[in-house]
């Protein structure tokens, strides 16, 4: 059975700041604490969290949506890539970041809390320290 879930958080930054940081290697690395080599080009591959995460950009809608094939080193070779959709929506206190993660293998529910612990919480700290224009 494939696992699907959605998780959201409000981040005190603009949609464009978050979009740009997610797709910039230096900012993504600083934002999460794990080395990332990412790109703003659809069709290109990326790695994050010191190689734990890898995938490929599918669709990028500036400031609003990122769609990627996504997998970790815990996936079996026989597992298909999961689908990661990052939605960015303006909010009075910044941006609502919604992660829709689908087509995960059976152990995939662990990633739901992982998005909170390894992305949302560090992102809140990063953007609080780095009030970017």
- Domain residue extents for the chain: 3-129
CB count in 10 Å sphere of residue 5: 14
How far is residue 109's CA from residue 91's CA, in Å, rounded to a whole number? 27
Mean pLDDT of 78-89: 96
Tell me the pLDDT band of 1, cut-offs 50, 70 and 90: low
The encoded tokens of residue 37 equal 């080599």
Token pair 């293998």 is at which residue? 105
Whether the predicted pLDDT of 12 surpasses 70:
yes
Q: Which of 79, 117, 114, 85 is nearest to 98 (CA)?
A: 85
Whether the predicted pLDDT of 133 surpasses 60:
no
For Cα atoms 110, 116, 121, give the angle at the middle one, nearest 5 degrees: 150
Q: Does domain 3-129 have CATH number 3.30.530.20?
A: yes
What pLDDT does residue 107 have? 86
Please give the model's pTM, rounded to 2 decimal places: 0.93
Model pLDDT for residues 97-126, shown as the tens digit of each residue = 999 999 999 888 999 999 999 999 999 999
Which is more confidently placed, 15 or 2? Answer: 15
Contacts of 125 (CB under 8 A, 6+ apart): none
């Amino acid at each position: 059975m494939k696992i699907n879930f959605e998780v959201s958080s409000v981040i005190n930054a603009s949609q464009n700041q978050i979009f740009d940081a997610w797709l910039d290697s230096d900012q993504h690395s600083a934002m999460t604490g794990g080395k990332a080599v990412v790109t703003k080009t659809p069709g290109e591959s990326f790695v994050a969290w010191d190689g734990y995460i890898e995938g490929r950009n599918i669709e990028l809608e500036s400031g609003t949506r990122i769609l990627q094939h996504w997998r970790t080193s815990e996936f079996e070779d026989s597992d298909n890539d999961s689908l990661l959709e990052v939605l960015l929506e303006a909010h009075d206190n910044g941006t609502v970041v919604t992660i829709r993660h689908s087509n995960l293998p059976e152990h995939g529910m662990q990633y739901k809390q992982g998005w909170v612990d390894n992305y949302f919480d560090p992102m809140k700290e990063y953007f609080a320290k780095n009030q970017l224009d």
